[in-house]
Amino acid sequence: MTSPATTPALAATTRLRATHLTVSDLDRSLGFYQDAIGLRVHAHEDGVARLGAGGEDVLALHEDVAARPAGRHAGLYHVALLYPSREELAFAVDRLVRTRTPVEGMSDHQTHEAIYLPDPDGNGLELAADRPRSAWPAGLGYSGGPAPLDVEGLYSLARGAEVPRFVGPGFKTGHLHLHVSDLAAARDFYRDVIGFEVQFEMPTAAFLSAGGYHHHIAVNTWRGPGVPPVPGGGVAGMRHWTVVVTPEDLAAVAERAGAAPAGGALELPDPSGNVIRLEAS
């Protein structure tokens, strides 16, 4: 493995594309993602549906009717769906209220505001909106932890507005947060092999990104260190997440990983079995 001192950082143009999830009932999931989350269906065939805001896919749902809920093992904690503005996040709150969709938590991370909830199969979601980078605190606010979300102030942006059924342009994947078996091994993989830069570390989690973003990937051992790796199949959860990189970065990652890209893409499992797919821009 290349040492951190010689590992080139991913280009600042690095961005995330579709996250692929396994669900047990595709029709049920499509109702949830359209009505409660505000996504459009881009395509739906052969047990796979692709969703987003009408442009690039943000999620791909793969049906496995035998899939059971995820257990105590490595895998998805949540995928952050990034709304293009605070107003759009307020519209998301309005959709949740209108559909009586329960949430699990709400936080103000100073860099972004966030709402946490599961989809019908327990796949974790974060609905988020970034603050302008000029407003991000020194150290990205990690050391102080999150503050309570000003739900009333956020929701006030939707009151009296004509809330559209679907999210507007600019909606995209913000980041992935994963459960892992070994924190140091996961951090080293995403830093030394993939090329993300560490933004903050704590004893049980690490946050990494490209281009100084608050985080594109976070890893944690909150299910306990040494939990089993991602199961080979038969459970709901993440199949893979997608990162768009420059052709030069793709070649460099392939060399560090000792793997060969195919068709302008490279899929690699992290040490806990979470699969990252890199695609050349």
Parent domain of 120? 15-280
Residue 80: inside a domain, yes or no? yes
Q: Which two tokens stand for residue 211?
A: 């281009």
Residue 203: inside a domain, yes or no? yes
* pLDDT tens by residue, the chain, 281 residues: 444 456 679 999 999 999 999 999 999 999 999 999 999 999 999 999 999 999 999 999 999 999 999 999 999 999 999 999 999 999 999 999 999 999 999 999 999 999 999 999 999 999 999 999 999 998 888 887 889 999 999 999 999 899 999 999 999 999 999 999 999 999 999 999 999 999 999 999 999 999 999 999 999 999 999 999 999 889 999 999 999 999 999 999 999 999 999 999 999 999 999 999 999 99
CA angle, 217 as apex, 56 and 183 as ends, to 5°? 150
Residue 172: inside a domain, yes or no? yes
Residue 245: inside a domain, yes or no? yes
Residue 108: inside a domain, yes or no? yes
Q: What is the pLDDT of residue 7?
A: 64
Residue 63: inside a domain, yes or no? yes
Q: What is the pTM of this model?
A: 0.95
- The number of beta carbons lying within 10 Å of the beta carbon of residue 2 is 15
Q: What is the pLDDT of residue 37?
A: 98
The number of distinct structural domains making up the chain is: 1
**CATH no. for residue 157?**
3.10.180.10
Any idea which residue has 């990189």 for tokens? 245
Residue 153: inside a domain, yes or no? yes
Q: What is the 3-state secondary structure (H, E, C) of the chain?
A: CCCCCCCCCCCCCCEEEEEEEEECCHHHHHHHHHHCCCCEEEEEECCEEEEECCCCEEEEEEECCCCECCCCCCEEEEEEEECCCHHHHHHHHHHHHHCCCCCCEEEECCCEEEEEEECCCCCEEEEEEECCHHHCCHHHHCCCCCEECCHHHHHCCCCCCCCCCCCCCCCEEEEEEEECCCHHHHHHHHHHHHCCEEEEEECCEEEEECCCCCCCEEEECCCCCCCCCCCCCCECEEEEEEEEECHHHHHHHHHHHCCCCECCEEEEECCCCCEEEEEEC
Residue 3: inside a domain, yes or no? no
Largest CA distance in the chain: 56
